C-alpha cells in the first residue's frame, strides 16, 4: 500500500534545517522540533567556512530565491589557505581554486556568519519548526515512530531523524554503544572587530583567506576574518548578527599541559583565558601579540575538543541520524557543518524517493546510512589526523612536518596536484 511520508526531525541546527528546507521544497511533509525557545535564542556569532560539499548541498535543498539570499549574505569568499610560523614566515600557501581550473559557481568556498546561516535556513519554515520542543525519547509504532518531548507532548510520523548535534538523545537510544571521546586537545578562541588599527596588524596572508600558525611546543593558532563584501545589501536586518561588524577570529589549540595555566582551564573566565593567550603569544610576531592584546577578553572562550568514534553498520529502520549527532569531529579541518549539510542533501534525496514510492523506506534509509558512514567517518578520521599533526610536541616530528610543508610549497606542480 502506498503512503506519503511525514518526517520528524529532532534538532533545528544546520543539518536538520537544511533537510527540512529540502523536504519542504520537494513537497514532503516535515516537522522540526527544536529545543531553543525561539529563533532569537540563537546568538552564535562566529563565521563558518562552507566548502564545495556544503555549498552544493545548500544549493540542492534551498529554493532558488533563498539560495540567492544566502549567497548575498556571505562574506568575502576565501581564496587561499596558509600555514605560517609563529614569526609569520610562510610554510605553505595554497590557492582554494588551483591555477588553471575553472571555479564552479555552486560547489565553491564561502564564508558565512553562523547566525545568518541559521536565519536563512529558518526562512519560510514558520509552520514547520516547533520551538521549545526538547526531544527526550522515541517509541517505534507499527508503521512509524512516536517522539516524546520534555513538555509532555508527543508527535507521530513515519521517520525520525536525530539532528540534535553532539549530545544527541536519538543516538543514545538508537546506538547506545556509539562513543564520543575527548581528544585531549583544547582550544582558547577570541574575536576582535576589524577597525582600521586592527586591519593594519593583520598578517598579509589573511587578505586572501584563513591561516594556521604552527608554533613549537605543540601550540597552534588558527586565524580567519569574516568581512561583508558589500553584495549582501539585500539581506533582511533580522538575519544579520546582533553586532554586525567585520571581525577576526583566532583560536589557539594545544594539549592543556602545553599551556601556562595555573588553574584548570575549565575554571578560567574570559579575562583569565585572554591573559593565558597573551602569555602564549608573547614571543611571537608582534602583530599576533597585538591582535590578541586588542581582543575583548569577554569574547574569549575555552573548549575541550571531542570526537565521535566510527560505529559498525546497524540495521536500517525508521529512525536515523545526521550531522554531529552521528559523526561529530574536531573543527581542525572545518568540515563538520559541511558534512552535516551533505547528509541533509543525501537523506533528502533518499526520502523523496521513498515518499514517491520508488523505493521502500527501509531501503532508502539503509542506502543513506551506508554512504553517510563511509564519507562521515572518513571526515572524522581526517579531522582527528589534522588535529594531532597541529599539536605535535615532538621537536623532530615538528621539524619534519615544517620541512615537508616548505618542500611542497617550493614545488608548485606537486602542490597543485596534492591540493587539486
Ligand atoms: C569552534 C568551531 C568552529 C567550527 N567551524 C566550522 C567550519 O568553519 N566549517 C564547518 O563545516 N564546521 C565547523 N564546525 C563544526 C560545526 O559547527 C558542526 O559540525 C555543525 O554545527 C553540526 O551541525 P548539526 O546540524 O549536526 O548540529 P548543530 O548545528 O549543533 O544543531 C543541533 C541543534 O539541535 C538542537 N538540540 C539539541 N538537543 C536537542 C534536543 N534534545 N531536542 C531538540 N533539539 C535539540 C540544538 O539547539 C541545535 O539547534 C565548527 C565547530 C566549532 C566548535
For 352-363, the pLDDT digits (tens) are 999 999 999 999
| Ligand 1 atom at shortest distance from the alpha carbon of 47 | 8
Q: Are 372 and 322 in contact (CB under 8 A)?
A: yes
**DSSP codes joined into one string, 203-224:** -GGGGTS-EEEEETTTEEEEEE
Domain covering 183-306+390-419, topology: FAD/NAD(P)-binding domain (3.50.50)
Same fold, 6-75+110-181+307-388 and 183-306+390-419: yes
Residue 331 Cβ < 6 Å to ligand 1:
yes
121-136 residue pLDDT tens: 999 999 999 999 999 9
β-pair type (180-193, 135-141) = unpaired
Residue 83 Cβ < 6 Å to ligand 1:
no
| Ligand 1 atom at shortest distance from the alpha carbon of 13 | 31
Weakest-pLDDT range from 33-42, 186-195, 337-346: 33-42
Reduced to 3 states (helix: H, G, I; strand: E, B; else coil), residue 253 is strand
| Ligand 1 atom at shortest distance from the alpha carbon of 135 | 42
| Ligand 1 atom at shortest distance from the alpha carbon of 36 | 47
Residue 135 Cβ < 6 Å to ligand 1:
yes
How many A from CA of 271 to the centre of ligand 1?
26
Say which residue, 239 or 70, is predicted with more confidence. 70
pLDDT of residue 286: 97
Residue 53 Cβ < 6 Å to ligand 1:
no
How many A from CA of 63 to the centre of ligand 1?
22
| Ligand 1 atom at shortest distance from the alpha carbon of 169 | 41
Mean pLDDT, to the nearest integer, of 370-376? 98
Residue 142 gets which letter from DSSP?
T
pLDDT of residue 182: 97
Q: Are 193 and 245 in contact (CB under 8 A)?
A: yes
- Its pTM stands at 0.94
Query: Could you tell me the pLDDT band of residue 154, with boundaries at 50, 70 and 90?
Result: very high
How many A from CA of 12 to the centre of ligand 1?
9
> Of the CATH numbers 3.10.560.10, 3.30.420.10, 3.40.50.300, 3.50.50.60, which one belongs to the domain with range 6-75+110-181+307-388?
3.50.50.60
| Ligand 1 atom at shortest distance from the alpha carbon of 164 | 34
For the chain, domain boundaries: 6-75+110-181+307-388, 183-306+390-419
Residue 56 Cβ < 6 Å to ligand 1:
no
Element containing residue 110 per DSSP (H, E): strand 110-113
How many alpha carbons lie under 13 Å from residue 12 in its C-beta half-sphere? 29
pLDDT of residue 119: 93
Alpha helices in 62-133 (DSSP H): 64-73, 114-122
Give the rounded percent of residues in the chain with a pLDDT score beyond 70.
Answer: 96
**DSSP codes joined into one string, 151-199:** TS-EEEESEEEE---TT-HHHHHH-TT--EEEEEEEEEEEEEE--HHHH
Nearest protein Cα to ligand 1, atom 4: 331
How many A from CA of 165 to the centre of ligand 1?
5
pLDDT of residue 241: 76
Residue 96 gets which letter from DSSP?
S
Distance CA 48, CA 17 (A): 16
Give residues with Cβ within 8 angstroms of 215, minimum separation 6. 85, 86, 221, 284
Residue 115 reports pLDDT greater than 80: yes
Q: Are 366 and 313 in contact (CB under 8 A)?
A: no
pLDDT of residue 144: 94
Residue 136 Cβ < 6 Å to ligand 1:
no
Nearest protein Cα to ligand 1, atom 48: 13
Distance CA 354, CA 368 (A): 12
How many A from CA of 324 to the centre of ligand 1?
6
209-254 residue pLDDT tens: 999 999 999 999 999 998 877 655 578 888 887 777 789 999 999 9
How many A from CA of 3 to the centre of ligand 1?
32
Q: And the C-alpha cell for 198? A: 586592527
Best probe residue, ligand 1, of 33, 331, 346, 372 (max atoms within 8 Å of C-beta): 331
269-328 residue pLDDT tens: 999 999 999 999 999 999 999 999 999 999 999 999 999 999 999 999 999 999 999 999
pLDDT of residue 44: 63
Reduced to 3 states (helix: H, G, I; strand: E, B; else coil), residue 108 is coil
pLDDT of residue 45: 65
Within 10 angstroms of residue 270's Cβ, the number of other Cβ atoms is: 16
Distance CA 40, CA 153 (A): 23
How many A from CA of 325 to the centre of ligand 1?
9
Distance CA 384, CA 390 (A): 10
Distance CA 96, CA 99 (A): 9
Reduced to 3 states (helix: H, G, I; strand: E, B; else coil), residue 129 is strand
How many A from CA of 304 to the centre of ligand 1?
15
Nearest protein Cα to ligand 1, atom 37: 164
Residue 374 reports pLDDT greater than 70: yes
Residue 162 Cβ < 6 Å to ligand 1:
no
Best probe residue, ligand 1, of 164, 187, 382 (max atoms within 8 Å of C-beta): 164
Distance CA 373, CA 370 (A): 6
pLDDT of residue 387: 95
Nearest protein Cα to ligand 1, atom 21: 337
Amino acid at each position: 500500500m502506498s503512503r506519503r511520508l511525514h518526517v520528524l526531525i529532532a534538532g533545528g541546527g544546520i543539518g536538520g534545517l537544511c533537510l527540512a528546507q529540502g523536504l519542504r521544497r520537494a513537497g514532503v511533509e516535515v516537522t522540526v522540533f527544536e529545543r531553543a525557545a525561539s529563533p532569537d535564542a540563537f546568538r552564535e556569532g562566529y563565521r563558518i567556512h562552507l566548502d564545495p560539499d556544503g555549498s552544493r548541498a545548500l544549493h540542492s535543498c534551498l529554493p532558488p530565491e533563498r539560495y540567492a539570499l544566502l549567497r548575498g549574505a556571505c562574506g568575502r569568499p576565501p581564496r587561499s589557505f596558509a600555514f605560517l610560523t609563529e614569526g609569520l614566515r610562510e610554510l605553505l600557501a595554497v590557492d582554494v581554486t588551483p591555477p588553471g581550473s575553472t571555479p564552479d559557481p555552486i560547489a565553491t568556498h564561502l564564508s558565512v556568519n553562523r547566525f545568518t546561516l541559521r536565519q536563512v535556513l529558518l526562512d519560510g519554515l514558520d509552520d514547520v519548526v516547533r520551538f521549545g520542543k526538547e526531544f527526550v525519547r522515541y517509541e517505534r509504532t507499527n508503521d512509524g515512530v512516536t517522539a516524546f518531548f520534555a513538555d509532555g507532548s508527543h508527535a507521530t510520523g513515519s521517520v525520525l531523524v536525530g539532528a540534535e548535534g553532539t549530545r544527541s538523545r536519538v543516538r543514545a537510544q538508537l546506538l547506545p554503544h556509539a562513543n564520543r571521546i575527548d581528544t585531549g586537545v583544547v582550544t582558547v578562541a577570541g574575536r576582535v572587530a576589524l577597525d582600521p588599527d586592527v586591519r593594519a596588524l593583520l598578517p598579509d596572508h589573511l587578505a586572501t583567506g584563513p591561516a594556521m600558525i604552527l608554533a613549537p611546543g605543540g601550540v597552534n593558532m588558527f586565524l580567519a576574518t569574516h568581512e561583508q563584501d558589500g553584495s549582501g545589501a539585500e539581506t533582511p536586518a533580522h538575519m544579520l548578527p546582533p553586532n554586525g561588524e567585520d571581525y577576526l577570529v583566532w583560536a589557539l589549540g594545544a594539549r592543556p599541559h602545553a599551556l601556562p595555566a595555573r588553574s584548570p582551564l575549565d575554571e578560567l573566565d574570559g579575562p583569565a583565558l585572554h591573559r593565558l593567550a597573551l602569555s602564549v603569544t608573547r614571543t611571537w610576531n608582534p602583530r599576533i601579540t597585538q591582535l590578541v592584546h586588542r581582543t575583548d577578553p569577554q569574547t574569549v572562550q575555552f573548549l575541550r575538543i571531542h570526537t565521535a568514534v566510527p560505529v559498525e553498520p546497524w540495521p536500517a529502520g525508521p529512525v536515523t541520524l545526521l550531522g554531529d549527532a552521528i559523526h561529530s569531529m574536531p573543527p581542525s579541518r572545518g568540515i563538520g557543518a559541511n558534512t552535516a549539510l551533505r547528509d541533509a542533501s543525501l537523506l533528502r534525496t533518499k526520502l523523496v524517493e521513498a515518499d514517491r514510492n520508488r523505493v521502500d523506506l527501509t531501503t532508502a534509509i539503509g542506502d543513506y546510512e551506508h554512504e553517510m558512514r563511509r564519507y562521515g567517518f572518513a571526515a572524522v578520521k581526517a579531522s582527528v589526523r589534522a588535529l594531532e599533526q597541529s599539536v605535535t610536541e615532538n621537536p623532530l616530528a615538528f621539524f619534519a612536518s615544517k620541512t615537508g610543508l616548505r618542500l611542497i610549497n617550493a614545488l608548485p606542480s606537486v602542490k597543485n596536484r596534492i591540493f587539486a
